[in-house]
Structure 1
Amino acid sequence: MQHKKRNSLQIMLELLGMIRPLIGYMLLAILMGSIGNLVATFITILGGYGLLSVSGLYNKLTLTTIFTIIIIFAVIRGILRYAEQACNHYIAFKLLARIRNKVFTSLRRLAPAKLDGNDKGNLISIITSDIELLEVFYAHTISPIAIAVITSVFMCVFIGNIHLLLGIVALLFYLLVGLVVPVLNSKRGSKKGQDYRDSFGDLNTSVLDNLYGLEEIIQYGQQEKRQRELAEKTESLEKITKELKKEESVQKITTDWIILFAGITMLAVSGYLASNGEIEGGMSLIATVAMIGSFGPTAALSALSNNLNHTLACGNRVLDLLSEEPVVLDNVSGEEECGGNITCDGVTFGYENKEVLNNFNETFSEKRIHGILGKSGCGKSTLLKLLMRFYETNKGKIYYGENDVNTIKTSSLRNMISYVTQETFLFHDTIENNIKIAKEDATREEVIEAAKKASIHDFILSLPNGYDTKVSELGESLSGGERQRIGIARAFLHNSNIIFLDEPTSNIDSLNEGIILESLNKEKEDKTIILVSHRKSTMGIVDNMINM
């Protein structure tokens, strides 16, 4: 996946744009968080006043009153903290649901070309862990930043009210801990955060490949090689993780030392002012306690920058997917009908820098069976994808009758074509429902008729629950040939005027292949069929054969 160049601020602003519908809850969370953190800080400050009261240096409030206020503040702090977190998590979970909906909408818009590649592990990583990590941004990033700003400004005013110079000292250290350290840490770790997410997605892809191809790996003795590759990817991910952990430790130590130095500096400056009579002696203690006790929100920002590298990298990947332009835009207002002869006029197409078809010319007459024979990689499957308008030609035109394929309404085009791919995907559902994907309102009789044409009916009846037998996840309980025949049954059930079959009998024995081909031969009276294969035996029923 190509990453659009965005800096951290741009990513945060784009993610913030999604929060508009819930802005009221966010403002409420910020208000409660700000009050709650100030209440917590003043519990410490009131403790300082208590010490002064015991020492006889403060008499405006009695010790009893001070401790009563501390207890009240502690209760208020607990209530506000819970309410703030409840609001933040409500916002986060609502937004994650919306983002998932946006992502799946985007995938539908980008499909099928987006799903035609080998980057499925990365897509799964984005849909699952990347979106999940955005919860950190919405629940633990936005309001803490606002709370840190509000509480820091309030404390600068409070400490500045003791003496202006002390307020300036406080402001400098708040900026150092809450802004300078996080920004520097974010700049240092942003690339590593992106590398981590990319490596994580790459590892996901590798794991999926190994799971799907486990039988082949064992059969051809590729276990050690695959284990070695997986170990290398894991080690690469662990290396990045260690580097990020190291930077996190450096940041934490740096922040702790700055806070310690801030306390010492405030004590020294306030002590100097007290010795010169510019402030009361007891106020030196209050200023120092206020300074040290109020670093909670700003220190949280400093620590936040570590997780923020991960979070913003996830956000960037999600935003990339949401902003990605489809290879082919669906035509939503074109011609409703596609029929007649299918004509390829000078079709040229290639993937990136690899040309697959060059000036291909052919007319596929309607109501006939056309065979395309050729070795792997010659462009047979690509041609069918171009006819389906999964991709657009680089040069040349494709016509259905008199209509350019690009002028036909995409939904109508694909509704009038039954397309059987090389790999049939089966859902974790009954066999009947898997066939009815092609026609949801089909009756059991229609499903059976389609299954008979695909030579899968007898096999289905041999199963314990017949058509109600549930297929295991990914269809692994069925053989390749059985899955393929279910795919062909879908095509028969769809009953469209045009059928494209990409290696439909590659995993099927000769007997069942003969039955299926005979069914196709009977269907040609009303349909245009294009049959792609590398096997000459499959071409026995075709009216017209093209060698590629």
Structure 2
Amino acid sequence: MSTIQIFSRLVKLVFPLTEFMICAILMGVAGFLCAIFIPVLSSMALVKDPTFSFHTIVILLFVCALLRGILRYAEQACNHYIAFKLLARIRDQVFGALRKLCPAKLEVKDKGSLISLITSDIELLEVFYAHTISPICIAFVTSFVCIIIQMQYGWIYGIYSLLAYVLVGIVLPIYISKQSRHIGIEYRKEAGNLNSYVLESMRGLKESMQYMDTDRRLSGLNHQTALLAKREKELKHFQAKTISLTNACVVLLSLGLCLIHVFLNSSMESMIVSSVLQISSFGPVIALANLGSTLSQTIGAGQRVISLLDEIPMVEEVRNGDEAQFNSMDMIHVDFAYDKEQILKDMNLNIQENEVIGIQGKSGSGKSTLLKLLMRFWDVSGGNILVDGIDIKNLNTSNLRKNEGYVTQETILFHDTIENNLRVAKQDATIEEIQLACKKANIHEYIQSSPNGYKTLVEELGSSLSGGERQRIGLARMFLHDSKLVLLDEPTSNLDSLNEGIILKSIYEERKNKTIIFVSHRESTLAHCNRVIHMESNRVS
């Protein structure tokens, strides 16, 4: 994606806030003109220019100085209001995109890079919205006003100023942007890689310590840090070179204007005022020249964000499809593969209402994949999955999610209260319903013993939450969701025999009005199933 395409996509988001952008531009132009006229008026007083009296110049200097501060504040307030409004909107769009992509595509994505994108990449776009769009417009309008003033001394000075502004404000930024774009993109890439490595290292710290692998992880961390430092050094070096080149151009162009005045035998008063105006008016275009290097990271960040927003989901949600009662499900000649790795081949399975089915098999035989296909987290590569005779691809996604409850092997808890963590399964649940679900999952007494009961923050419990307790909270969510089809992936793997027995009793009591599918290696878990399916060599036996 080209730089122009990235910019055009980002600019489109500004349209709803056009009035604030116009306000920022007007305040910016007025503020820069006040800043420019402070040295110009001072030079006019020095050479005793007859245009204004000394007392008038003093008053104008005071007014310009006061207005400069007020106008600068107003401009920055408008720009940052626009920036933070748009960043909030972009975060919302990114979360919406992740929701559509989840879980099929996200399972193969680098989570560290995603975290870097959601946090630092989006924050970098603030540079574009607060310090790029309005400065470009401000530089154009301010330069146009200064050119008109220079033409009062002679048309050649106006043309020279125009060429000087074009060189510093357009040619240099384009040149610098082309030179530095790949550095910015590589810097953002290395930052994402470092985040991924740190995240993996933190998650696996106990395992690294157990197997004395910390030295290797530390060496890898140093290597990733060195790569990022190298990219940052390249970026800073280029930024320093940009500033030096820009300042050199400003000095040389200002001297060039003085030489033209000398060559054309201008008066000393005209030469001083015109030259001071010229060197003072470069402020807005210097800001543009510096953008060439600072925007290199923003371009990289914008490209990553836009690429995520443009990703096509592997499974599209259905909104205007069919509705089903979930009385039966059929898998007919189902094939499924992750890329080129075949997981299921020619699989057939009939699931009847209120049936309890157990699934056993070796690791990698496709047990968890089968449940994910029933949830339509992926679409089958071949064959069909039918619900009440309707292809699952034609069912409304809301109907599917409402009637299916899925307990995964890992229970994710958010930094919120226990009650709100349970409400993920049913937002409008009463406290009585929540407590009943927790009693079925044998976690109620533990929650009641917590500092604030169901209002206890999960982070307050910290590491005191064992794997079994987390698993029971996941099971409580399932009971609270109260769906017709329950999919359980190793639901008691982290539980002792006593807790397993209590929870299995609660689950089997639900068989009167639910269809239940167990995935488990434990014979005790599957003992009361209507039938047990053995998955071997990608087929049902």
| TM-score, normalization by structure 1 | 0.92
Q: Quick one: structure 1 residues 451 and 74, their matched pair in 2 at CA, closer, same or farther if it must change by over 3 Å?
A: closer
1:432–1:77 distance in 2 versus 1, CA, 3 Å = closer
Does residue 210 (structure 1) correspond to residue 198 (structure 2)? The answer is no
- Matches of 1:315 and 1:436 in 2, distance apart? 35
Q: 1:332 aligns with which of 312, 319, 335?
A: 319
Aligned counterpart for 1:92 among listed residues 73, 83, 94: 83
CA contact (8 A) 1:426 1:475 kept: no
Q: Which residue of 2 aligns with 1:526?
A: 513
Report the 3-state secondary structure (helix = DSSP H, G, I; strand = E; otherwise coil) of the residue aligned with 2:152: helix
Q: Which residue of 1 aligns with 2:181?
A: 190
CA contact (8 A) 1:428 1:473 kept: no
Distance 1:202-1:495 versus aligned 2 partners, 3 A rule: same
Give deviations 1:148-182, integer Å, cap 9, x for gaps. Answer: 11112222222233222222222222111111111
Is the CA contact (8 Å cut-off) linking 2:441 and 2:476 kept in structure 1? Answer: yes
Does residue 31 of the first structure (1) align with residue 22 of the second (2)? no
CA contact (8 A) 2:408 2:491 kept: yes
Structure 1 residues 285 and 469, CA gap change in structure 2 (3 angstroms): closer
The question of 1:356 aligning with 2:347 is answered no
Indicate the larger mover: 183-192 or 151-160. Answer: 151-160
Q: State the Cα distance separating 1:346 from its structure 2 match.
A: 1.8
Distance 1:461 1:48, change over 3 A: closer
1:469-491 Cα shifts (integer Å, max 9, x gaps): 44227964311111112211221
Which of 277, 280, 289 aligns to 2:267? It is: 280
| Native 8 Å contact 1:517 1:541 kept in 2 | no
User: Which position in structure 2 is the counterpart of 1:406?
Assistant: 393
Q: Structure 2: which 5+ runs fail to align?
A: 536-541
For the structure 1 residues 91 and 62, does the alpha-carbon distance in structure 2 shift closer, same or farther, using more than 3 Å as the test?
same
**Corresponding residue number in structure 1 for 2:14:** 19
Q: Could you report, residue by residue, the CA deviation over 1:125-170 in whole angstroms, capped at 9, with x for unpaired residues?
A: 2222222222221111111111111112222222233222222222
- Work out whether residues 430 and 467 of structure 1, in 8 Å CA contact, stay in contact via their aligned partners in 2: yes
Count residues with an aligned counterpart.
Answer: 535
The secondary structure found in structure 2 opposite 1:186 is: helix
Determine which of 285, 288, 293 is the counterpart of 2:280: 293
**Could you tell me which of 105, 111, 117 is aligned with 2:102?**
111
Alignment partner of 1:435 is 2:430: no
Q: Please name the residue that 1:125 is paired with.
A: 116
Residue equivalent to 1:240: 231
| 1:231-282 deviations in Å (ceiling 9; x for gaps) | 22211111111100000011111111111111121111121011xxxx4343
The residue type paired with residue 320 of structure 1 is S
**Structure 1 residues 290, 464: CA separation in 2 closer, same or farther (over 3 Å shift)?**
closer
Per the TM alignment, residue 76 of structure 1 is displaced from its structure 2 partner at its CA by: 2.2
Q: Which moved more, 1:327-336 or 1:463-472?
A: 463-472
- 1:10 partnered with 2:1: no
Displacement after TM superposition at 1:188 (Å): 1.4
Change (3 A) 1:51 1:392: same
Residue 299 of structure 1: how far off its partner (Å)? 0.7
1:472 aligns to what SS in structure 2? helix
- Separation in 2, partners of 1:316, 1:379: 36
Q: CA deviation digits over 1:48-74, x for unaligned, max 9?
A: 222222xxxx43433333333222222
**More displaced stretch, 435-444 vs 236-245:** 435-444
1:304 to partner: Cα distance: 1.9
Bigger shift: residues 360-369 or 246-255? 360-369
Contact 1:399–1:405 (Cα < 8 Å) also in 2: yes
Q: Which residue of 1 aligns with 2:150?
A: 159
Distance of 2:456 and 2:225 partners within structure 1? 39
Matches for 1:247-258 after TM superposition, within 5 Å: 247-258=238-249
Kindly tell me: are residues 452 and 36 of structure 1, through their superposed partners in 2, closer, same or farther at Cα, counting changes over 3 Å?
A: closer
For the 8 Å contact 1:88–1:140, the answer to whether it is kept is yes
Where 2:306 maps in the other structure, the secondary structure is helix
CA contact (8 A) 1:181 1:302 kept: yes
Offset of residue 463 of structure 1: 4.4
TM-score normalised per structure 2: 0.93
The one-letter amino acid paired with 2:44 is: Y
| 1:195-227 Cα shifts (integer Å, max 9, x gaps) | 222222222222222333332232232222222
Rounded Cα–Cα distance in structure 1 between residues aligned with 2:425 and 2:498: 25
Whether contact under 8 Å (2:142, 2:284) holds in the other structure is yes
Out of 502, 507, 511, the position equivalent to 1:515 is: 502
Work out the CA distance in 2 between the residues paired with 1:421 and 1:539. 17
- Cα distance in 1 for residues equivalent to 2:53 and 2:482: 89
Other structure's SS at 2:313 match: coil
Number of the residue aligned with 2:47: 52
Q: Distance in 1 between matches of 2:488 and 2:87?
A: 40
Residue 77 of structure 1 and its aligned partner are, at CA, apart by 1.9
Counterparts of 1:429 and 1:249 in 2: how far apart (Å)? 45
C-alpha spacing 1:443/1:141, structure 2 compared with 1 (3 Å) = closer
SS in 2 for 1:438: coil
Give 2:370's match in structure 1, choosing from 383, 408, 412.
383
1:115 Cα deviation (Å)?
4.0
For residues 475 and 394 of structure 1, the distance between their equivalents in structure 2, rounded to whole angstroms, comes to 42
Shift of 1:119: 2.5
The one of 518, 524, 532 equivalent to 1:545 is 532
Structural mapping, 1:397-476, within 5 Å: 397-463=384-450, 465-472=452-459, 476=463
**Quick check: 1:427–1:473 contact (8 Å CA) kept in 2?**
no
1:40 aligns with 2:55: no
* Rounded Cα–Cα distance in structure 2 between residues aligned with 1:512 and 1:459: 12
Identity %: 48
SS at match of 1:321: helix
Q: Is the CA contact (8 Å cut-off) linking 1:386 and 1:392 kept in structure 2?
A: yes
Aligned partners of 2:423 and 2:429 also within 8 Å: yes
Cα distance in 2 between the residues matched to 1:104 and 1:118: 15
- 8 A Cα contact 2:324 2:388, kept in partner: no
Distance 1:19 1:486, change over 3 A: same
Which residue is 2:215 aligned to? 224
Letter in 2 for 1:246: H
Among 365, 380, 383, the residue aligned to 2:352: 365
Structure 2 Cα separation of the partners of residues 225 and 358 of structure 1: 40
In structure 1, how many angstroms separate the alpha carbons of the residues matched to 2:236 and 2:452?
A: 54
